[in-house]
Amino acid sequence: MPALPASVPLSWYLILSAILFSLGVAGFLFRRNIITVFMSIELMLNAVNLSFVTFSYKLKQVDGHIFSFFVMVVAAAEAAVGLAIILTVFKNRQTLEIDEVSSLKN
Amino acid sequence: MPANAFPTSAEYLRFLPEIILTLGGVVIMLLEAVFTNDDQRKIFGPLSIVALFAALLASISAAGDPGAAFSNMLVIDGFASFFRALVIGIGVLAILGSTGYLRQERMPGGEYHALILFSILGQCVMVSANELIMIFIGLEISSIASYVLAGYLRDDPRNNESALKYFLLGSFATAFLLYGVAWIYGLTGSTNLDQIRGALQTSAAPLVMAGAAAAFMFVGFGFKISAAPFQIWAPDVYQGAPAPVSGFLSVGPKAAAFAILLRVFMTAFGPIADRWEPMVWGCALATMMVGNFAALQQSNIKRMLAYSSIAHAGYVLVAVTAHSETGSAAAMFYLAAYAFTNLGAFAVVTYFSRKGEKYVAIDDFAGLSQRQPAMAAMLTIFLLSLIGVPLTAGFFGKFYIFKAALDANLTWLTVLGLLNSAVAAYYYLRLLVVMYFKDPGDSVENLEPAGLSLQIAVYASAFGTLLLGIFPGWVLDIATKSALK
């Protein structure tokens, strides 16, 4: 059995972040429920936060931490507006399937 | 504690336009809660215009004392001042163009005006940002307000759909931007644009990764400027949003996004220009082609103008590809010219579409010249400027951009761009033909004259379009002086 490293290497965090980001992109592209699509975006933002904190730890600076706080704040503001928009869509159409919200065309 | 822990009064003066816009927006929202009837709500329009003019004065006076503010988070140089004045001017025209519309749709709320002010506040922060954190915050302040504006008439399913698409795709693109920012931070150890430039110059950072991070950031910006292949949202959003909002979205957030794209790619990513230039080259060409060829097939005027705005983003991207001082000045001139022209065009569309936006098909414009000759003449000026006919702003805009591209040895892109603008002439002229040579259908019956504020918006836009077309030197001088090096 190979010896485990004393602490988790930083590159693992970056790989995890890249995987989470890709999962978010895949969810955005392939899921059909608006709420799930919105959650996929939140997953992407969290992946970004993980990268920021990892880099911040590596560089021994606080800039990355501060950036990730701002990302959280903005994500909260975006969620407030986004859920309100999703609610009005649901009120007018009684559906949360993204394919059914496509009346705008030439 | 460092000596500069507290900002000096000069720094607050440089930031005064943003402070005024914030106060204006907050005051309007508080008054909205107090007011009980629609007569009182009439004050919101004039109030927001006063706030915008105060912010304009503050930004002009701040231009006289350029420098950094708040520990180098913001930099108020000529470039920032030019764009601050531009987006505030866009705000004035947007509010003038929407007063009548809001009354007609029975939604004369204060939120609308507050949201426009907040959106412009975000754009002001963006254009003066010298730090990726500020770029992100400014972009989001502007975007979140815009998402709500796109769905302002909340009982109209078209508005809902527009807001939903704008919101989902906008947040998706922001996530890409942020991922790029995270990697740039990790590679260079800084989020300050000048320090990133320094780190990339010494090439201590692995340049392949920096190029990939720049590409991620370009996805985020490319969405905001509706560059192909990230333009998918624009036709749906512009078609579904209220007409005055579409006009605002097609110029305000776009001008600010171009400003920040120019600043980031010319300042911070200047040392790796040979890596991103081919990417922007291809993107500029694709954007022009997609915009122009798709616009040919549109029968809805808002959708046609949306594709036209994609095509115009392509022309500005040609100037970004040149990434020279003349290219930067040409992009600034073009965005100013396009702002007047497109706001004017959308103001006429706002007037003509009438209650519930019933008349937005191109065929509905038949015979407009007989019923409303003045409005038809103004729309003609805007369309000619969008084509790029001499004596209008659009002509000199295109002229400077293609000249800058030739100076930067982008011969093929220039040739293809010129061919593209010839294609574009077709769909603008088709609208003119419908307007002047087709018999009026029943769609122009009972067309009431435009309200005063809408008329001011249309005539002011036409004046600006002609002024930039006949005396371009005045704005071009300012743009050249304040262009990025």
The residue with tokens 């000069």 is B10
CB-based contact B403:B418 (threshold 8 Å): no
Which residue type, as a one-letter code, is found at position B452? L
Are A71 and B178 within 8 A, CB to CB? yes
Are A59 and B154 within 8 A, CB to CB? no
Question: Distance between CA A19 and CA B106 in Å, rounded?
Answer: 48
Topology classification of domain A33-96: Helix Hairpins (1.10.287)
- Using a CB-CB distance cutoff of 8 angstroms, which residues of chain B are in contact with residue A85? 147-148, 151, 160, 163-164, 167
Residue B231 placed within a domain: yes
Residue B4 placed within a domain: no
pLDDT (tens digit per residue) in B212-269: 999 999 999 999 999 988 999 999 999 999 999 999 999 999 999 999 999 999 999 9
Structure tokens at A6: 């004393």
Those residues of chain A whose CB sits closer than 8 Å to some CB in chain B are 21, 24, 28, 34, 37-38, 41, 44-45, 47-48, 51-52, 54-55, 58-59, 61, 63-64, 66-67, 70-71, 74, 77-78, 81-82, 84-86, 88-89, 92-93, 101-106
Least confident of B62-66, B167-171, B366-370: B366-370
Q: Which of B179, B190, B217 to mutate to test the interface with A (most CBs of A within 10 A)?
A: B179
Question: Distance between CA B207 and CA B189 in Å, rounded?
Answer: 14
Cβ-nearest to A67 among B133, B171, B172:
B133
Provide the shortest C-alpha distance from residue B452 to chain A (in Å). Answer: 31
CB-based contact A104:B239 (threshold 8 Å): yes
Residue B311 placed within a domain: yes
Provide the shortest C-alpha distance from residue A65 to chain B (in Å). Answer: 11
Cβ-nearest to A106 among B161, B175, B299:
B299
Residue B418 placed within a domain: yes
pLDDT (tens digit per residue) in A48-96: 999 999 999 999 999 999 999 999 999 999 999 999 999 999 998 888 8
- Using a CB-CB distance cutoff of 8 angstroms, which residues of chain B are in contact with residue A92? 155, 157, 160
Does the ipTM exceed 0.90? yes
Provide the shortest C-alpha distance from residue A59 to chain B (in Å). Answer: 7
The stretches of B189-242 forming alpha helices (DSSP H) are 193-201, 207-224, 233-240
Are B160 and A38 within 8 A, CB to CB? no
Question: Distance between CA B343 and CA B61 in Å, rounded?
Answer: 26
Nearest CA in chain B to A44: B175
Looking at residue B445, what is its pLDDT?
65
Can you give the residue ranges of every domain in chain A? 33-96
Going by pLDDT thresholds of 50, 70 and 90, the confidence category of residue B1 is very low
Nearest CA in chain A to B191: A63
Is the pLDDT confidence value at B413 over 60? yes
C-alpha closest to that of B267 among B142, B397, B88, B128: B128
Residue B474 placed within a domain: yes
Contacts of B194-200 with C-beta under 8 Å, sequence gap 24+, read B194/B72, B194/B130, B194/B267, B194/B268, B196/B268, B196/B269, B197/B267, B197/B268, B197/B269, B197/B270, B197/B271, B200/B268, B200/B269, B200/B270, B200/B271, B200/B272
Are A48 and B298 within 8 A, CB to CB? no
Tally Cβ neighbours within 10 Å of residue A84. Answer: 16
Least confident of A74-78, B77-81, B113-117, B199-203: B199-203
Are A78 and B171 within 8 A, CB to CB? yes
Residue B34 placed within a domain: yes
Nearest CA in chain B to A74: B140
Nearest CA in chain B to A80: B144
User: What is the residue range of B92's domain?
Assistant: 9-482
What's the domain count of chain B?
Answer: 1
pLDDT (tens digit per residue) in B318-341: 999 999 999 999 999 999 999 999
Calculate mean pLDDT across residues B400-416: 93
Are B168 and A78 within 8 A, CB to CB? no
pLDDT (tens digit per residue) in B337-388: 999 999 999 999 999 888 878 888 888 888 888 888 889 999 999 999 999 9
